[in-house]
Structure 1
Amino acid sequence: MAARKAPLLGRLRIGYVSPAVLFVAVLLYLPFLWTAYLSLTRYDGLTSPEFVGLKNFGDLLDDPALLTSVRNTLLWVVGTLLLPVGLGLLVAVLSYDLKGGTWYRLPFMLPYALSGAGLGLVWSFILTKDGVANQLLGALGLPGGHTSFLQYGPGNTIAMVLVWTWQQLGVNTLLFVVGLQSIPKAPIEAARIDGASGWQLFRHIIWPLMRPLTIVVVGLALVASLKTFDIVWVLTQGGPGRSSETLGVTMYRDTFVANDYGYGSAVAVFLTVVTGLASFIYLRSQLRKEDARA
């Protein structure tokens, strides 16, 4: 009887999983395969694709705009890991044991309710040459009243990273607070009895116990920074002169503005490979550290 039930349960499990697998395949894998095919063609979206092999990738590597996009994308990666993640951890730790800590964290959470496009629209009124920031500096008689925050690279990218930090700080704080709440109380209390406090307590007890969550938070931030698009497009559209483009913006411009779907698909494949490799290298290094600790 048990032998008959096992194959039946196996078939049922396949039936339960199949819709999800089909859903993922249709929405993720098939579009990527189509994009990979288009990257090997010359295609304007109207005529039939013409196979050109690896020509688009050769043109991509010779494109000077690619170096700017890669530089700006790296700035986004470094800035995202240092600011939204680092400051989120700091706010979470400092407010965790405070009475009414939830209310202290609330102002950091509110900006996350804005979309990337909405965030870019709000800050475009603040950071433009005649925007709120310059008008306020001028009214107060402070230096910098004529600063071009978004006119020159890489300063415009740094300004947008700060805007991104303002939005993402809250969600990272929330994730770290959840991690702090999941830490067993016994090791912390034992460390406090032994005289540990402040930095010592955080470095030797709290931080190691939060390591699994930190790996997830940093991994999500890494992928998000590599794919940055909406806030850059709304604030600068990658300009002036493509000086603030990221790989995501380059992909969009070449595909939907220049109508060069083959070349844009090559940028998309390049971005996918970079994101996959970065995620793989990061997760592999963290797993090796975990194995070494074990």
Structure 2
Amino acid sequence: MTGRAAPLLGRFRAGYVAPSVLLVAGLLYAPFVWTAYLSLTRYDGLIPPEWVGFENFVKLLDDPALLTAIRNTLMWVAGTMLLPVGLGLLVAVLSYDIRGGAWFRVPFMLPYALSGAGLGLVWSPILSHDGIANKLLGVDTAFLQEAPHNTIAMLLVWTWQQLGVNTLLFAVGLQSIPKEPIEAARLDGASGWRLFRHVIWPLMAPLTAVVVGLALVASLKSFDIVWVMTQGGPGRNSETLAVTMYRDTFVASEYGYGSAVAVMLTVVTGLASYLYLRGRK
């Protein structure tokens, strides 16, 4: 009886899971396959796609705006690792195991309630040429008009929003660390930087891998805050790869060329994630 029931149970499980698998495949994989196909065509959204092979990718490699987008995207990656992740770890460590530490972290969490678009709407007038920032600092700086100042300014705004969630994640990781190794290290005379470097940091390695991985992917596809604050300008000097993809696809209506940028962004994100995970191993 058991031998007969096992195949039936297996088929039941497969039938139970199949609708969800098909839904995920339809929502995730089918659009990517369609985008990959469009990247090999000339398509403006009106006439049927015309097959052109790798012409879009050749054109993409000759586009000077691509180098600017890659440079800015790399700045976003480096800035995200140093600022939201690094400062989040610092705030979590400073508020760890002290009285009122949870309340100390609350102000850093509040900006995370804003979306990237809302963040841009709030900070754009502040950082404009006649905005509050120039008046408070007593300077005359075009924060959003010149490169690389505009990318750096947006990175600081991004840090203001993302600092809280990274702090929370690191705080949870610190609270999950067993107390015994830390107490033993303190008995041996370890404190401050030595305690963090040789005891706390190694114990937080699994969580750090998750936080850095999430930040890496988010920085590679940064779009909404850039589009709202500068729209990639002026002169496309603050574009990231995600903004380039959006502009070429939905503004210029070059769906084939924009799809090529999307494929390139997907490959870059996947390769960066693979290299990071491989390095972690």
For the aligned pair, the TM-score class normalised by the smaller chain equals over 0.9
CA distance in 2, matches of 1:78, 1:6: 53
1:67-112, CA deviations, whole angstroms, 9 ceiling, x for partnerless residues?
0000000000000001000000000011011111111101100000
CA distance in 2, matches of 1:216, 1:13: 31
1:228-259, CA deviations, whole angstroms, 9 ceiling, x for partnerless residues?
00000000000000000000000000000000
1:189 and 2:191 aligned: no
CA distance in 1, matches of 2:212, 2:169: 11
Aligned AA for 1:18?
Answer: A
Aligned AA for 1:254?
Answer: D
1:147 and 2:141 aligned: yes
Paired position in structure 1 for 2:214: 220
Give ranges in structure 2 of 5+ residues lacking alignment.
none
CA distance in 2, matches of 1:218, 1:11: 40
2:173 to 179, 182, 192: 179
Paired position in structure 2 for 1:292: none
Paired position in structure 2 for 1:78: 78
1:85-234 alignment runs, 5 A limit: 85-137=85-137, 142=138, 144=139, 146-234=140-228
Q: Tell me by how many angstroms 1:200 deviates.
A: 1.1
RMSD value, Cα: 1.0
Aligned AA for 1:67?
Answer: L
Aligned AA for 1:265?
Answer: S
TM-score normalized with structure 2 length: 0.98
Bigger Cα displacement from structure 2, 76-85 vs 184-193: 184-193
SS of corresponding position for 2:235: coil
1:43-82 alignment runs, 5 A limit: 43-82=43-82
Bigger Cα displacement from structure 2, 89-98 vs 238-247: 89-98
CA distance in 2, matches of 1:192, 1:15: 56
SS of corresponding position for 1:245: coil
Paired position in structure 2 for 1:257: 251
Aligned AA for 1:25?
Answer: A
Structure 1 residue ranges, 4+ long, deviating more than 3 angstroms after superposition? none
1:267-286 alignment runs, 5 A limit: 267-286=261-280
1:202-245, CA deviations, whole angstroms, 9 ceiling, x for partnerless residues?
11111111000100110000000000000000000000000000
TM-score normalized with structure 1 length: 0.93
Paired position in structure 1 for 2:13: 13
Bigger Cα displacement from structure 2, 189-198 vs 240-249: 189-198
Bigger Cα displacement from structure 2, 202-211 vs 183-192: 183-192
Change (3 A) 1:16 1:212: farther
Q: Tell me by how many angstroms 1:12 deviates.
A: 2.9
Q: Tell me by how many angstroms 1:191 deviates.
A: 1.2
Give ranges in structure 1 of 5+ residues lacking alignment.
288-294
Paired position in structure 2 for 1:35: 35
CA distance in 1, matches of 2:104, 2:15: 48
Paired position in structure 1 for 2:236: 242
CA distance in 1, matches of 2:10, 2:197: 47
CA distance in 1, matches of 2:5, 2:189: 59
